[in-house]
Chains A and B, each alone.
Chain A
């Protein structure tokens, strides 16, 4: 039982490049979330999904897109990376209003 996994763990991008972060969970959770964590600002919600095929915007969605084609996977895409997107990205999953289970995080640097 792996819980929530994230791929990759680290990545360095040049400005303008694109990439996709993959989140996978094996707990059959309906809800999945993408957050970014920046120093002194806690976690900010980027996008979330309440079920397969559905996504919604969070607090800071600009510059990101997401897809949830399978219940267990939630993808976060950066179409044209910017230095402001340098951050640690966390994926999480949960059953409805219960606690979230987090992945280990992806450290992204955009130069």
Chain B
């Protein structure tokens, strides 16, 4: 069975600073993908970044980067130069390449302070 753990229910960061949101996972699948989604207060789910388990380099998308440590089974999201609009819930998710289930973590609520 797959499981995602996000141990930080809430995080605060000062505007323009970087922040790391933690995600650890458990799976027996040899090949899998890791995803991060943002959910602002308006409720929609927004895809941010993807990391494949066999990707050699950490994924980056603009101000978002994924710190992937396969041996530690962690896939932390790093947001650089935080903006007020980054205040939202952030969900880590994973999917085994040979299954159809996406599994989501409980989320971390990020608040960016002016």
Majority DSSP secondary structure for residues of A touching B: strand
Query: Contacting A100 at CB < 8 Å: which of B43, B97, B102, B105?
Result: B102
Q: Is B55 an interface residue (CB 8 A)?
A: no
The reply on A45 being an interface residue by CB < 8 A is: yes
Question: Provided the pairs A43-B91, A97-B33 are in contact, do residues A56 and B47 lie with their beta carbons within 8 angstroms?
Answer: no
Q: Does the CB pair B91–A88 fall under 8 Å?
A: no
> In the complex, A58→B106 CA distance in Å?
17
Interface membership of A48, Cβ < 8 A? yes
Name which residue of chain B comes closest to A49, CB basis: B100
Query: CA separation between A44 and B91, bound complex, in Å?
Result: 12
- In the complex, what distance in Å separates the CA atom of A84 from the CA atom of B87? 29
Q: Which of B72-114 contact A (CB under 8 A)?
A: 91, 93, 95, 97, 100-107
Residue of A nearest to B36 (CB): A99
Chain A positions 21-76 with a Cβ under 8 Å from a chain B Cβ: 31, 33, 35, 40-45, 48, 50, 56, 58-59
B91 close to A104 (CB less than 8 A): no
Interface core residue of B33, B44, B100, B106 (most chain A CB under 10 Å): B100
Q: Which residues does chain A contribute within 8 Å of B103, judged by CB atoms?
A: 45
Check if A88 sits within 8 Å of B47, measured CB to CB.
Answer: no
Q: Are B106 and A97 in contact (CB under 8 A)?
A: no
A residues near B25, Cβ cutoff 8 Å: none
Given contacts A31-B100, A105-B44, 18 further A-B contacts (CB under 8 A): A33-B102, A40-B9, A40-B106, A42-B104, A43-B91, A44-B104, A45-B103, A48-B100, A50-B100, A58-B101, A59-B101, A92-B102, A97-B33, A98-B33, A98-B50, A99-B47, A100-B45, A100-B102
Instruction: Please list 21 pairs of residues, one from A and one from B, whose beta carbons are closer than 8 Å in the complex, sorted by A's number.
Output: A33-B102, A40-B9, A43-B91, A43-B93, A48-B101, A50-B100, A59-B101, A90-B45, A92-B45, A92-B102, A97-B33, A98-B50, A99-B47, A99-B50, A100-B35, A100-B45, A100-B102, A102-B44, A102-B45, A104-B44, A105-B43
